[in-house]
Amino acid sequence: MPALDLPEEWLQQVLTLLRVHVPEAKVWAYGSRVSGGAQVCSDLDLVVRNASDPTRPVPEVAALREAFRDSLIPIVVDVHDWATLPPAFKPAIEREHRELQGGTPRDAGEAMS
């Protein structure tokens, strides 16, 4: 598990919500909680990537955002979809991120069902 500036209890809650809401997606953490500049109240920045095709959005992102808002995690968890991020943001995230979930792409048969 990547080292993040995040208490273990909160990290476990984050990982649980990711498994429940976006189990097939890759999820990266980035920003101050990865770079080491976080304050106690800093948000957690996450980007969700479609494991089969990063250019395609992950439809479950809206439900994931709502789940984080409803959770007991006492900081803001800011969730973005890689496919809809402005291209200018992507290189910095690619350079410095921590993978929280590897994603399991659907095979072509599953994707069509």
- Asked whether the beta carbons of 42 and 12 are under 8 A apart, the reply is no
Q: Tell me, what amino acid is at 70?
A: D
Task: Please report where in the chains the tokens 């500036």 appear, as a residue.
Answer: 5
- For this structure, is 43 an active site residue? yes
Q: Are 14 and 77 in contact (CB under 8 A)?
A: yes
State both tokens at 50.
Answer: 């479609």
Q: Is 5 a catalytic residue?
A: no
Catalytic option among 5, 45, 53, 107: 45
Residue of 43, 70, 81, 107 marked catalytic: 43
Phi, psi of 49 (to 5 degrees): -120, 135
- Active-site annotation, residues: 43, 45
